[in-house]
Structure 1
Amino acid sequence: MRLSRADGSTVHLAYCTNVHPADDLPGVLAQLDRFAVPVREHLGADLLGLGLWLAAPVASALAADPALRRRVRAELTARGLETVTLNGFPYQAFHAPVVKHDVYRPDWTDPRRLRYTQDLAIVLADLLPDDAARGSISTLPLAWREPWDRPRWQAARAQLRALGQSLAASEREIRVALEPEPGCVVENVDQAVAALSGVGSDRIGICVDLAHLACAWEDPRDAVAKLDAAGVPVVKVQVSAALEVDDPQNAAEVLATYAEPRFLHQTRSANGAVFDDLPQALASSAGGPWRVHFHAPLHAAPPAPLAASTPVLAEGLAALLSGSSCDHFEVETYTWEVLPKAARPTDDAGLAAGIAAELAYARAQMSTCGVS
């Protein structure tokens, strides 16, 4: 969806298609009629933004074939859909039975990560609507934190510099955004600023995922102020919410229903306790409050005594829409299939309705910040 600031400038709001399993182009195209069009119709919108996720083999094939790229753009346009942003964090197999740490591989020390991101930039340059100011691609925050050392830092920075050079050569303005995440080399704003020092490209910045920001227990206004002061652009925002619980020991039974085998659910307490996955946290005696990296549907409160970090989401949107020039916002709840059974959609129509409700929620929150 296209929204507007008070000055008339456009703000794009999309949903991320990494919620749908598709590792080939036919699967990606099938999502358009199966989910995206029903979402648009639920919202009564003439135009719906998609944050496409393209697995590495799909990105490679599209980057090598201009005619194929034109076909994808035509398929989007015919359905009232558009793409200004891509999710380049998962490389492939994002809906495998077990993903966990595999989502961070290959990392930014590996040439495959650079090639994948360059392929995505080629694809996005041709998918961008003619009147779009720029495109964005979110990517992993360098790597999982272990193993990591000086040679890996040097290798990652060299690849980011090479990326910046290739982005500068593009006929369309495409920017790439590192997405801080708990447990990674870059998990907070201070580390993001440090990671980008010396990269030397104005085409590389930060993707602020509001669930990750909550799990890092960062104050949204402070985080945005730090990025602004450092001159690090907020390229993209993922409008997301984490799980939160004040007294985890008394909520253990409910929390356990969110401990599932596919994704990593890093858990952090306000007093500094760190767990790389929810089962580890549940096995501990750490006191609360906790925040859990489980992207919760924005519009639907989780079962008591759990809550969602939607207050952080609201504060983050207020800070970002007043204190940065970011114009790409993406709802990224990829966890619908692994929600506790009672909360999962039972069919395609239910999932489409849920995604539409999330987008409506995000649009309403952004409206309170003067963007509508």
Structure 2
Amino acid sequence: MRLRHPGGAPLYLSYCTNVHEAEDLDGIVAQLDTYAVPIRARLGTDVLGLGLWLAAPVAAALAADRALRARLRRELSARCLEVVTLNGFPYRSFQNPVVKHAVYHPDWTTEDRLSYTLDLALVLADLLPEDVARGSVSTLPLAWREPWGPGTAGLAARRLDRLAAGLAAVESSTGRVVRVGFEPEPGCVVETTGQAVARLADVDSDRLGVCLDLAHLACAWEEPSDAVKALERAGLPIVKVQLSAALETAAPDALREYVEPRFLHQTRNAAGDAADDLGEAFERRLPGPWRVHYHVPLHVAPADPLATTIPVLRAALAELVGGPQPLCDHYDVETYTWGVLPPGLRPKNPEQLAAGIADELDFARTELRELGAST
């Protein structure tokens, strides 16, 4: 969906398709009809934005074949769907029964990660609507924190230099600008915006920046105003914002039904104590209150004593779009955990999932309107 900031700049709102399983082109096209078309109809919007997730094999196939890219663009246009951003964090198999630490591989020390991201940039350049100034690709925050040292840091830095050069080549060959945003996440080499400023100080800031995930920001117990101002001072652009909410509670026992085997749910408390997964937090008896990296539906308030970090999301949006001009133009709702919610909260069929995603997008649209955006 497109909105307009009070200052006149466009804002692009989408939902991330990494919640769906398809990892080949036919499956991706099928999911457009199963989910995106009903979501667009439910929202009553002329055009629906998708934050496409393309697994590495299909990204490589599309990058190698202009005709395939043209087919995907036609399929999107025929359904009144548009793409200005891609999620390039998961490499493949993101909805496997067990993902956990595998999502951080391959990391930015590897050639595979570089090739995948440049494939995505080339694909996105051909998918971008003609009237959109630039596209964005989000990616992992360099690597999981272990192992990491001077040697791996140097290797990653050289990959980022080649990434910036590759993005420049995409612009030269297609005329389209694509930027890549590194997404701070608990437990990674870049966990906070402060670490982003330190680790990414020497990157080409015309092409590389930060993807600000608002659940991750909350789990790091960062104040949105401080985080956004630190990035501004460093000249590190916010390439993309992921609209997400984490779980929060002062009564951790209420979270036991959220322990599940697929995804990693990093847990942090206000004192800085950390566990790499929710089950580990229980084993170590971390004192509360907890914030848990568990992306929960934006529009649903859980029963007491649980809460979500929607207040952090609102405070961050006020910083990002509350000024005379927006600090970012790409906003992607990223709730990929619908399928692992406790059984009573989990969608029972595709229709229920589409309805839930539409409700999340409507919630996000309303929040942006509250800050003066218009449709």
Given the two structures, how large is their TM-score scaled by the length of structure 1? Answer: 0.98
In structure 2, the residue matched to 1:351 is: 353
Aligned AA (1:102):
A
Q: Secondary structure at the match of 2:294?
A: coil
Task: Kindly report which structure 2 residues correspond to 1:208-219, keeping only aligned pairs within 5 A, or say none.
Answer: 208-219=212-223
Task: Kindly report which structure 2 residues correspond to 1:169-184, keeping only aligned pairs within 5 A, or say none.
Answer: 169=169, 170=171, 171-184=175-188
Q: Secondary structure at the match of 1:283?
A: helix
| Residue range with higher mean Cα deviation, 212-221 or 7-16 | 7-16
Any conservation in 2 of the 1:164–1:201 contact (CA below 8 Å)? no
The question of 1:99 aligning with 2:69 is answered no
In structure 1, the residue matched to 2:241 is: 237
Shift of 1:285: 2.5
* Cα-to-partner distance string for 1:308-348 (whole Å, 9 max, x where unaligned): 00000100111111355310000000000000000011111
Aligned AA (1:144):
W
In structure 2, the residue matched to 1:116 is: 116
In structure 2, the residue matched to 1:360 is: 362
In structure 2, the residue matched to 1:142 is: 142
Aligned AA (1:339):
L
In structure 1, the residue matched to 2:272 is: 272
In structure 1, the residue matched to 2:309 is: 309
Shift of 1:302: 1.8
In structure 2, the residue matched to 1:290 is: 290
The question of 1:189 aligning with 2:193 is answered yes
* CA distance in 1 between partners of 2:223 and 2:70 (Å): 42
Shift of 1:23: 1.4
Aligned AA (1:273):
D
* CA distance in 2 between partners of 1:329 and 1:20 (Å): 19
Any conservation in 2 of the 1:242–1:295 contact (CA below 8 Å)? yes
* CA distance in 2 between partners of 1:349 and 1:156 (Å): 42
Any conservation in 1 of the 2:205–2:237 contact (CA below 8 Å)? no
* Cα-to-partner distance string for 1:14-52 (whole Å, 9 max, x where unaligned): 000000001111111111000000000010011000000
Q: Secondary structure at the match of 1:295?
A: strand
Shift of 1:286: 2.1
Aligned AA (2:155):
A
* CA distance in 1 between partners of 2:168 and 2:198 (Å): 22
Shift of 1:301: 1.2
Q: Secondary structure at the match of 1:14?
A: strand
Aligned AA (2:330):
H
Aligned AA (1:60):
A
Q: Secondary structure at the match of 1:294?
A: strand
In structure 1, the residue matched to 2:6 is: 6
The alignment-based identity, stated in percent, is 61
Aligned AA (1:168):
A
Pick from 328, 331, 334 the counterpart of residue 332 of structure 1.
334
* CA distance in 2 between partners of 1:27 and 1:231 (Å): 40
Shift of 1:199: 2.0
Aligned residue pairs, count = 368
Q: Secondary structure at the match of 2:258?
A: coil
Aligned AA (1:191):
Q
Aligned AA (2:339):
E
* CA distance in 1 between partners of 2:200 and 2:209 (Å): 8
In structure 2, the residue matched to 1:16 is: 16
5+ residue gaps, structure 2, are none
Any conservation in 1 of the 2:84–2:135 contact (CA below 8 Å)? yes
Task: Kindly report which structure 2 residues correspond to 1:51-62, keeping only aligned pairs within 5 A, or say none.
Answer: 51-62=51-62
Q: Secondary structure at the match of 1:27?
A: helix
* Cα-to-partner distance string for 1:173-207 (whole Å, 9 max, x where unaligned): 10000000000000001110111112234100000
* CA distance in 1 between partners of 2:202 and 2:307 (Å): 40
* Cα-to-partner distance string for 1:147-172 (whole Å, 9 max, x where unaligned): 00101000111001101011122120
Aligned AA (2:221):
W
* CA distance in 2 between partners of 1:327 and 1:61 (Å): 29
Any conservation in 1 of the 2:88–2:139 contact (CA below 8 Å)? yes
Q: Secondary structure at the match of 1:280?
A: helix
* CA distance in 2 between partners of 1:120 and 1:68 (Å): 13
Any conservation in 2 of the 1:296–1:302 contact (CA below 8 Å)? no
* CA distance in 2 between partners of 1:283 and 1:162 (Å): 43
Any conservation in 1 of the 2:205–2:236 contact (CA below 8 Å)? no
Any conservation in 1 of the 2:201–2:234 contact (CA below 8 Å)? no
